[in-house]
Structure 1
Amino acid sequence: MANKYIIDFNVFIQGKNFHYHFAFCEGFWDWVHEGFDKGVIYSIGKVRAELLEGKKGDEARRWTEEMPDGFFLDDVGDAAVMKEYAHCMQWANADKHYQPAALARFADVKRADAFLLAYARAHGHIVVTQELSQPEKKKEVPIPDAALKIGNIKTVTIYELLRAHARPTFVFKP
């Protein structure tokens, strides 16, 4: 069975603002869509909600609104995800490494991070994020470090995903 990936909000926002701006790299966005068509690339409802907070006319918001049903997977309506979300919150409540404000931000139900981890743990998907492991950090909870501490969750960067599934022209490679 092929790996399935769920993409973090920061991949889309950094992509839109920098590396894969719609003005010169629309192929990236087509590649994401093709990855979805192939049953490999997704995101979750919480990421969709964050993207829809963009201003009217924002290209990432427009792209989000145009993505087909099923790309943004149901997170809060999925009992298995909510069970794992509770597990993530138990870890956050017991963790002594991170500052309380960092853990409160991680636990904010409007943010996608904990839901991405819960979805990945519940369904075996790999989280794609631009965040890197920073074990010494205390003021934020980097997704890769939370994934390690929570357990049974793999993370990769968008660049690792592109190396595995993109040709140099952003044509999807199964």
Structure 2
Amino acid sequence: MTEKFENLEVVSEWRAFTGMNYQYSPRVDIAVGPFSVAPGPNRTAEYNEIIQRPLIESFLRNIYDAHIENIGEEWLNEINIPDFDILIRKNKNARCLMSIEIENSSTRKHIMGSMINAASLGRVGIGIAYNDSVLRTFIRMLNYMGFLKRVEKNAYDTTNFLIVTKEQFQEIVNQNI
């Protein structure tokens, strides 16, 4: 299914790579284009322009603020939350503008895979937690990634991955459409 948001293509069940049978092709629940799937130059300059559009910037800032609200309750916080302007420019070689994973119930390994795929593929990755259990799992995973980095273990940078609840996401979408 394809929709539009601020004249940007929105695709459900988006596959990052097609026609490359030798390579794993991550799939995210929802992706917002433009899409950078061909070898060669990436779309960094185009993404930089898009994230400055008032509606897109407002949408992302609202997601960021909800993420901070969700993380702020943690008493032991290993999570690094960069300033908004740094976070939205973090993934310079993104394959799409936003990659969104919706999690209702799954294993921790599956959720970690969803986080890594969303952070890797999107300029901004978004995790939508459908319940408190998934929200806690997302936060614990981000804490774990921060811990690994702090103690100088191999770690994957997920600082461009933002966590919101389904209610927060619905409210933000309603405010920005």
Q: Shorter-chain TM-score: which interval?
A: 0.3 to 0.5
Identify the structure with the greater helix proportion. Answer: 1
Give the structure-1-normalised TM-score: 0.36
Give the structure-2-normalised TM-score: 0.35
Identify the structure with the greater strand proportion. Answer: 2
